[in-house]
Structure 1
Amino acid sequence: MADLQRSFIIYFVLFSSFACTLQALQFVVGGRDGWVLNPFENYNHWAQRMRFQVNDTLLFKYQRGSESVLVVDKDDYEKCNTGNPILKLQDGNSIITFDRSGLFFFISGSKSNCANGQKLIIAVLAVRNNRSLSPLPPRPIAPPPETESPAASTTSPSSPPAEAHTPTSSGDGPSAVPGSPHPAVIDYVAPSVPHRSFATAASVSSVVLVSMISLGCISIIF
């Protein structure tokens, strides 16, 4: 039984170490160019495209004996001060492990190379949290506010203006129909009726007059 427990503990430790190794990433500084004076891409531009987190590692590849890597603070980074490094790497195949979050500053061991741009700033984020990758649960859709009944009450008073058409039958003149884009057109055919009646009366009187004259002429003849 004790052997089984020891085997389980060993298996658990190995599995945990393997899982941590899978989470950590290694970045090769400068890619195929390595740690040189004039890389294909500026080192800080390259770093801005990457995402570094705690436990990730940097791999510096350079020619041993003619180049080196210095880990410095911000002030020495800006001044290219090679005389007071936090850490000096010169084996030609150097690996740096990020053991904390924050900024890391690297410069060339050659002051002139550093002054010409062989320097690097890395911003390291906190440990990855796998739970942050899962999408948030969708919010329940709230029912829309009950505003339909007030809207109906506001639109219902629009029907009474239709009663305003009744005063127009008195013949006082044209009036605009409420709610219509243009005023209503009133037909003025009705006032022409008296003219037709007047013409009819005049024609009747003329006929009577002609008849009387005709009768008078006939009486004179006879």
Structure 2
Amino acid sequence: MSSLMMCCLLLLFGLLSEGREILVGGKSNTWKVPESRDETLNQWSERTRFKIGDSLLWKYNAENDSVLQVREKDYERCDRSEPIRGYKDGHTNIELKRSGPFYFISGEEGHCQRGEKLRVVVLSPNHKRSVVDAPAPVNVDLSPNYNRSVAAPPVNAHITNKGSLNRGAWSLLLLPLGLLV
């Protein structure tokens, strides 16, 4: 294999392995005390697949809120006293560099206790994924009392591929390999 082909393959794999930037809650200003316990960021998180290399982006009002990354015990107790990291810039971007759970709470007094918190679980690199990142499965009740007029809520993840390639970029990478038809 020529060195040019090897370089192209390495570049291709590098670009494809980059993570995505995922807007927390699927839109700006979702990092706030939820209006009801039925609409929490954890429900959004459970419907979104996260992988190593993805970045979470919080867009919030920095004048009255902040983001703290905490340990599980501090997440459960809403304890703000010993965060792993704290952010108060209104445009917080955190890369998920390992698999497993990540815990975030608001740094403002009383916000976490009222539901402003987020748990994100990053899939293991060994997790079998489909070609397209899909939302988590929805349990469907097909009993005779099942109301067919109620649909599952849409998944609003607002995901931006940081490593996506357009058709022109694919052509440039595959041309030296003689893979274009």
TM-score (normalizing by structure 2): 0.60
**C-alpha RMSD over aligned residues:** 2.6
* Cα separation, 2, equivalents of 1:11 and 1:65: 47
Could you tell me which residue of structure 1 aligns to residue 82 of structure 2? Answer: 84
User: How does 1:146-185 map onto structure 2 within 5 Å?
Assistant: none
Could you tell me which residue of structure 1 aligns to residue 156 of structure 2? Answer: none
Structure 1 or 2, whichever has the larger Rg, is 1
Offset at residue 111 of structure 1 (A): 2.8
Contact 1:80 1:111 in 2 (8 A): no
Bigger proportion of residues as helix: 1
- Residue deviations 1:156-201, cap 9 Å, x none? xxxxxxxxxxxxxxxxxxxxxxxxxxxxxxxxxxxxxxxxxxxxxx
Could you tell me which residue of structure 1 aligns to residue 105 of structure 2? Answer: 107
1:26 aligns with 2:14: no
AA aligned opposite 1:61: K
AA aligned opposite 1:34: T
* Cα separation, 1, equivalents of 2:130 and 2:78: 40
SS at the partner of 1:15?
A: helix
Gaps of 5+ in 1: 135-222
AA aligned opposite 1:69: V
- Residue deviations 1:109-130, cap 9 Å, x none? 1130011100011111112667
AA aligned opposite 1:17: G
SS at the partner of 1:16?
A: helix
1:35 aligns with 2:31: yes
Contact 1:69 1:108 in 2 (8 A): yes
Gaps of 5+ in 2: 132-181
1:94 aligns with 2:79: no
Could you tell me which residue of structure 1 aligns to residue 158 of structure 2? Answer: none
* Cα separation, 2, equivalents of 1:96 and 1:39: 25
SS at the partner of 2:111?
A: helix
TM-score (normalizing by structure 1): 0.50
